[in-house]
Chain A
Amino acid sequence: MALHHDEIVNRLKNEFGDEILGINVIERTEGVLRKRDQRSIAVSLTRKVFHRAVSYLKTMGTLHIACPMASREFDDYLELIYPFTLFSGEGNFSEIPVIVKVLLPEDDLSIRTVTDIIPGILFMERETMEMLGVVIEDIPDPRRLFTPGNLPDDFKPLRENPKEPEDDSQEIKY
């Protein structure tokens, strides 16, 4: 049974308290003949409780990952954005996207894997490692997903200003 969006927000606040840095509900009306409101929840939380929060979300209902992790870069931080959804497959407008955002310091770009909670996120975590340079701790398969094996390890293609490889003698072949 799908929970009301306010109930999800309250449960998260009660469970994680000050570890939640921000939470808001985005509303939008869809339909022409039959108007229905849709909501999505955006929650920003600390890295310390991230794994436990994903595990807690799964206790509320079917947890699904809708999209690979997006990112946003600030001066000293990288914001990693996990677009989860709750109650997928329960029909009748019940699905609620829950966008979980975590700030990672630039000098320690690492976060714990959640493949133990959602095995289907594995490819997305592999892509995050190779494209953004975020270290996914305890990931069961750390291999690259898309980039060729001879791409230098310190070249992260989807960073805003990717650093040039230190070893420029290595030729990048396509």
Chain B
Amino acid sequence: MSTRQTYPLHIGPTHPAFKEPVQFNFEIEGERVITCDIEFGYTHRAVEHIARERNFIQILYLLERICGICSVSHPMAYCLAVEQAAEIEVPPRAKYIRTIIGELERLHSHLLWTGVAAHEIGFDTLFLYTWNIREKVLDCLETITGNRINYGILTIGGVRRDITPDLYPVLQETLDYYYDVFERAREIILDNMSIQLRCKNVGILSHENALAYCAVGPTARASGVPRDVRVDYPVNAYPDIEWLKPVSPLDAGREPRGDVYDRMIVRVHEIHQSIDIINFCMENMPEGAVDVEPKATKMISTLKKVQGEGIGRYEAPRGEVSHYDILDNREGPLLMKVKAPTYSNGITWMKMFDNVEIADIPIVIASIDPCVACADRMSFVDSGGRRSIMTSADLHRLSVEKQRRIGK
């Protein structure tokens, strides 16, 4: 008779360690996970069903809201699918602007993830550090597009706003800032003993399992699968970048093992890669128009004449986003099918949890980078209607003043 005793541990659907509702059902022996089962559906919003009632342009803004952090990735995949079905050729300048916005998004997404991962292992100093340096890229996105997230810049056949020459210094200043801080940030994140002790040999996804379970993005690359849509099936400006290759733990001199630390290496090195890609796009930015048809109603009536199917694939910060669209003489697609990276990577959790300790559950869950909400900024309106924005220096001053008041 076996003496082995296990007990169930249910975490979720809402839990302080999660940024999104999802239910994990573990079978535990002592402190170790034996099996893991996952239940989804707690935030299912029927986006594919809602899209049937909307026209081609309205869908863009619906898709931006699938995920706040990947808010350019879903509209990008959708535009690529519709453009393929309708045989629309995007102007060269729009392709470069799309690439710049996409890489700025990757930059802030990876910085955000690094902070979340640090928070999950109790390293809140690093969490605050990475979120602080992330502000610069959000400011840059706000200057270029008008919003920190949900940029509203993509449209079918191009982009809605140009990056005009007077915005180049803003972009250049952002790139210079990240070139300056990168080495210090890399050292703090990857060379730290606490991080290495908590992340090495934890939550391993083997190369074989990454392939079999169709892992995507940094999760796949950390397991030694060099899968990156930007290289395998590139669009926008990516075909022009000859030196572009999927980031691997080998870039940091480490043989890929597929643990949490490898996923961290991949994301940190991709921050530098994104800065290089934006730099390339700025140096080689083509002249010309940024869209094929600025009027939405004309674009809708053009697409209404189309019968066809298209698949749009884009490498979002978390991995491959895919959209499959069927056009059939309607004002919107007959059918739209969406795949987010977490859909692919979620199934790999079940393999990663093999023999993981209970204390490591939060960091293993966070390691595939499931979505998180974006931080708000504080702003005040005084009685005269004047609006003022609190800077970090203002907040620091107020904090010091409050501490002095409390201390009296």
Q: Which residues on A are within 8 Å of B, measured CB to CB?
A: 26, 28, 30-36, 38, 40, 42, 62, 64-72, 81, 83, 85, 87-95, 97, 99, 118-124, 144-148, 157-158
Contact A67 B335 (CB under 8 A): no
Contact A89 B343 (CB under 8 A): no
Contact A91 B41 (CB under 8 A): no
| Interface membership of chain B positions 276-306, coded 1 if the CB is closer than 8 angstroms to chain A and 0 otherwise | 0000000010100000000000000000000
Nearest CB in chain B: distance from A21 CB, A:
16
Contact B232 A89 (CB under 8 A): yes
Beta-carbon nearest neighbor of B227 in chain A: A89
Selected A-B contacts with CB under 8 Å, 11 pairs:
A30-B236, A32-B237, A33-B284, A66-B311, A70-B335, A94-B232, A95-B233, A97-B313, A119-B347, A120-B347, A146-B40
Stretch of B55-63, B240-248, B364-372 lying at the A interface: B240-248
Most B CB contacts (10 A, CB to CB) among A30, A33, A95, A157 go to A30
Residue of A70, A144, A147, A158 near B326 (CB, 8 A) is A70
Contact B232 A83 (CB under 8 A): no
Contact B213 A157 (CB under 8 A): no
| Interface membership of chain B positions 219-238, coded 1 if the CB is closer than 8 angstroms to chain A and 0 otherwise | 01000011111011111110
Instruction: Using C-beta atoms within 8 Å of the partner chain, give the interface range for chain B.
Output: 35 or more
Residue of A28, A67, A68, A81 near B84 (CB, 8 A) is A28
Q: Is B323 an interface residue (CB 8 A)?
A: yes
The total of Cβ contacts below 8 Å across the A-B interface reads: 125
CB within 8 Å of A: which of B382-403? none
Residues of A within 8 Å of B322, CB to CB, are 66-67, 83
What are the 5 closest A-B residue pairs judged by CB atoms, nearest first? A120-B214, A31-B239, A95-B232, A67-B322, A89-B227
Q: Is B148 an interface residue (CB 8 A)?
A: no
Q: Is B1 an interface residue (CB 8 A)?
A: no
Q: Is B346 an interface residue (CB 8 A)?
A: yes
Residue of B226, B286, B313, B324 near A89 (CB, 8 A) is B226
Residues of A within 8 Å of B326, CB to CB, are 70, 72
Contact B284 A68 (CB under 8 A): no
Residues of A within 8 Å of B44, CB to CB, are 146-147
Residues of B within 8 Å of A145, CB to CB, are 40-41
| Interface membership of chain B positions 48-71, coded 1 if the CB is closer than 8 angstroms to chain A and 0 otherwise | 110000000000000000000000
Given the interface contacts A38-B233, A81-B324, A91-B245, does A67 sit within 8 Å of B212 by beta carbon? Answer: no
Nearest CB in chain A: distance from B388 CB, A:
41
